[in-house]
Amino acid sequence: MSEPREVVIALFGAMEKNDEAALTHVLDIPELMRNSQEDYALQVENARVFTNPEEVLKDLTGDGETKRVWFALQRIVSNARIMGETASVDVTFVDKAASHGYRTTFGLHLKQGEWRIYSFKTVKE
């Protein structure tokens, strides 16, 4: 079983390679899609709502908006905090040009014995 931090790093690797199959092994896509009150991944005024898993995968690969934004910034992946069957991993996205960062907490939970990412929560620092 991979550790939560390794799962987050694997997410970025799969995004970089546009590997949708690998993304399905690190994400809990149905849980990500349940978040309709705020955008699931980006700090935007109007939350994007995804109606099927393919839309989430397209957003995280190719020319997807989340991939474009996340890969334009430097990423620093912190160590995991594990609390039983849930965990969190902070990722700081650094915008060097604007001299500020965004801390995103990746929420993970155990699903069928494997850690899966089920949420992204961003806070501007």
What would the pLDDT profile of 80-90 be if each residue is shown by its tens digit? 999 999 999 99
Q: Poorest-confidence range of 5-19, 30-44, 67-81, 91-105?
A: 30-44
At 124 the pLDDT is 63
Residue 47: band (very low, low, confident or very high) from pLDDT cuts 50, 70, 90 = confident
Q: What is the mean pLDDT of the chain?
A: 91
What average pLDDT does range 55-72 have in this prediction?
A: 94
What average pLDDT does range 61-79 have in this prediction?
A: 94
Q: Which residues contact 112 (CB under 8 A, 6 or more apart)?
A: none
- Residue 95 contacts residue 70 (beta carbons within 8 Å): no
- Could you tell me which CATH number the domain at 4-124 has? 3.10.450.50
Q: Is pLDDT at 113 greater than 80 in this prediction? A: yes
Exposed e or buried b for every residue in 39-74, given b needs 16+ CB within 10 A?
bbbbeeeeebebeebeebbbbbbeebebbebbeebe
What average pLDDT does range 36-60 have in this prediction?
A: 82
What average pLDDT does range 17-38 have in this prediction?
A: 91
At 125 the pLDDT is 60
Q: Which residues contact 67 (CB under 8 A, 6 or more apart)?
A: 15, 59, 60, 61
